[in-house]
Amino acid sequence: MKKHYYLLLTTIIFALKTNAQNCLQNGVTFYTQTQIDLFSVSNQSCTSIEGNVTISESIPGNITNLNGLAQVTHIDGNLNINNNTALTNLSGLNNLIDINGSLTINNNSALINLIGLGSIIRISRHISISSNLNLNSLSGIAPTIMSNENFTITNNPSLLSLAGFQDSSIGGNLKISYNDNLQTLGGLENLKNVSGKVTIEQNPELTSLLGLYNLDKIDGWLWISNNDKLTSLSGLDNIDHASIIGLLLSNSSELSYCQVESICKYLSLHENNLDISVAAIHSNNNGCNDISEVQQSCGISVNTNDTEKTEWKIFPNPASGHIHLSKIPDELHFINTIGKTVKKVIPDHNVLDISDLAPGIYFIRIHFGEQRYIEKVLIEK
């Protein structure tokens, strides 16, 4: 399905580009607002720029808008928007649908959002958004972008979440780092596949990874480090443990809940070969301070055979007031979205009263002897 969708987008891009008027085969650099304003005068019929496009002011505060580029639909190279002090959004690029190269948005101190990039269908190479002092949102970026390489969001001190990003796949590495006020990964809820390493580090206000709950495959290292307020790895539960090549969990002083299903199964898979090339866990809080602590919390016989799981279920989901168990476990732990156990039950029958729990998402850790399972449940009023 996804392959057919991307093929359709590629076909659309090709058809549109066939009708585009090409110009500037060596690319162009815009240093001033005047150059941008006169582009449509000097290149009246041009809709496709054949080389790289760079927008970088030579005089502080000179470039304030990109309206003069409204006719551009294709860039056959990289688009670099760097070192501008008065550009607050990217309006003027509203008709741009294809970048046959990389998109770099770096060091634009007045930029507050990405409005203007909403028509882009494809970025062939990497996306880098970094060092934009006042960027507080990714809103404005196209909901579906074909990006074949890395996606980097780093050193944006005003960014609170990643709302605005809606793509389901990243073709290379994902790096989210040094964003001083980033609190959640909200905005990544549609992300299912990262074809490389996932790095989340040096985000001192980050408290939750739940925006990654639908991520199921990464094909690289999982690197979580130096996130001072992060308490739980809830949100990483659904990653296929076999797609994790290496694991680093370190230097997050509040991190105490690491026993999510993907981590437990990964550690179980490599139980006899847990050297530093496979996993490193250290300098976190109790419960996640070293590999043995996480193994103990996992129960380290984490079931990897889903056929056993079909013997029981929790229902209904969403639930209100009570939940039903098709099979009575030894115990259940209700864990909230920040990794805190808020209710522990040793059941003696199949119906559990949950009326004391506030509405919201909970992860229920179910114990059957040495086996551990995690189920996500939504509790409603």
Residues near 20 by Cβ (< 8 Å), separated by ≥ 6?
47, 48, 73, 74
> What average pLDDT does the chain have?
87
Each residue's pLDDT tens digit, 24-74: 899 999 999 999 999 999 998 899 999 999 999 999 999 999 999 999 999
Domain boundaries, the chain: 20-298, 306-379
The CATH architecture that domain 20-298 belongs to is: Alpha-Beta Horseshoe (3.80)
Each residue's pLDDT tens digit, 272-331: 777 777 899 999 999 999 888 898 888 754 344 444 455 678 899 999 999 999 888 898
Bond from prior residue into 329 cis (ω within 30 degrees of 0): no
Each residue's pLDDT tens digit, 66-102: 999 999 999 999 999 999 999 999 999 999 999 999 9
Which amino acid, residue 61? G
- Ramachandran sector of residue 178 (left: φ over 0; alpha: ψ -120 to 50; beta: rest): left
Do 20-298 and 306-379 have matching folds?
no
Each residue's pLDDT tens digit, 184-210: 998 898 899 999 999 999 999 999 999
Q: Domain 306-379 adopts which CATH fold?
A: Immunoglobulin-like (2.60.40)
How many C-beta atoms lie closer than 10 Å to residue 368's C-beta? 18
